[in-house]
């Protein structure tokens, strides 16, 4: 069970669950059908777990070159590749089937599109171009749309704002990880930005460019009238704190500073969800 748990990438799954709940809650305007939400989370989680396993399968050779991944199940020889591939494909198909039959066709399509972009597009691009992070942030942001469509059964302007927030958030999050692990990525010949940009200038620009864009984008739900003043105040505060957490990395570009930014990014999403829930409750 521990092997399959690692193959399922539970750390990424937790972010997918948070994003899906956030999208569902807002799409339903705070009215939660708990059984329906749980079914949505089940289908989404199964698809995400299967995608994670297929990512392990495709990256089994490069994982063997990196210190932080060489002990993963496949490079460590704890499980056979065809077992991982079978598990991944079955989980993705069942997850999508659950969403199509028990939620709606649109949500099932978004889950399948997410898996396709993550496995077939993003994973191979890591060996080709540093733009893999920007492209990979698309499937990373789609679960929030899936949560929205599960409850609202459509995609409107607010749903795209949520998608944009999630898309922008991933850049400082993953660039901080890539900076900390840049030596590992270089050993595996993966074209992450900190590998092709050893002095860090482009990495810092990308981080702050996306953080700056998050400030006006997070204000849009208030401007559109979807959320209230409590949300605007709280969202601007945590987005500003997120921005501030990146300043030490801009100054010294150390692993310690990158870790601070990473912690700020992990704090951000659940905090945003908490603020939105309170705002809707107050309204």
Q: Count CB neighbours of 62 within 10 A.
A: 19
Domain with CATH 1.10.357.140 in the chain: 1-153
pTM exceeding 0.95: no
Q: What angle do CA 168, 134, 92 make, to 5 degrees?
A: 95
Domain with CATH 1.20.120 in the chain: 156-283
Q: Please write the tens of the pLDDT for every residue from 64-73.
A: 888 888 888 8
> Considering only the top CATH level, what class is 156-283?
mainly alpha
Q: Please write the tens of the pLDDT for every residue from 220-279.
A: 999 988 889 999 999 999 999 999 999 999 999 999 999 999 999 999 988 988 898 888
CA gap 274, 231 in Å, rounded: 10
DSSP state string for 161-223 = HHHHHHHHHHHHHHHHHHHHTHHHHHHTT---HHHH-TT-HHHHHHHHHHHHHHHHHHHHHHH
pLDDT at 283 over 70: no
Report the pLDDT value the prediction gives residue 30, as an integer from 0 to 100: 62
Options 3.40.50.10470, 1.10.357.140, 1.10.645.10, 1.20.120.450; CATH for 1-153 is 1.10.357.140
Q: Is 42 helix (H, G, I), strand (E, B) or coil?
A: helix
């Amino acid at each position: 069970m521990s092997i399959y748990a690692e193959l399922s990438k539970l750390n990424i799954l937790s972010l997918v669950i948070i994003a899906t709940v956030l999208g569902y809650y807002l799409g339903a305007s705070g009215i939660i059908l708990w059984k329906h939400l749980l079914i949505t989370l089940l289908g989404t989680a199964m698809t995400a777990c299967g995608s994670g396993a297929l990512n392990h399968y495709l990256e089994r050779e490069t994982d063997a070159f990196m210190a932080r991944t060489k002990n993963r199940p496949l490079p460590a020889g704890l499980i056979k590749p065809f077992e991982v591939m079978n598990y991944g494909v079955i989980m993705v198909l069942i997850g999508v089937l659950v969403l199509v039959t028990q939620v709606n066709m649109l949500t099932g399509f978004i889950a399948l599109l997410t898996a396709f972009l993550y496995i077939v597009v993003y994973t191979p691009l890591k060996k080709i171009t540093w733009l893999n992070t920007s492209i990979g942030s698309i499937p990373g942001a789609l679960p929030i749309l899936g949560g929205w469509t599960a409850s609202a059964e459509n995609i409107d302007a607010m749903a795209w704002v949520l998608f944009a927030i999630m898309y922008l958030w991933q850049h400082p999050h993953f660039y901080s990880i890539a900076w900390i692990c840049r030596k590992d990525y270089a050993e595996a010949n993966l074209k992450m930005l900190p590998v092709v940009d050893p002095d860090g200038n482009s990495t810092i620009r990308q981080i702050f460019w996306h953080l700056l864009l998050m400030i006006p984008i997070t204000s849009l739900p208030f401007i559109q009238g979807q959320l209230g003043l409590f949300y605007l105040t709280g969202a601007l505060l945590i987005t500003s704190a997120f921005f501030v957490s990146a300043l030490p990395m801009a100054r010294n570009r150390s692993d310690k500073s990158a870790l601070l930014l990473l912690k700020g990014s992990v704090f951000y999403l659940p905090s945003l969800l908490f603020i939105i829930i309170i705002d809707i409750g107050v309204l």
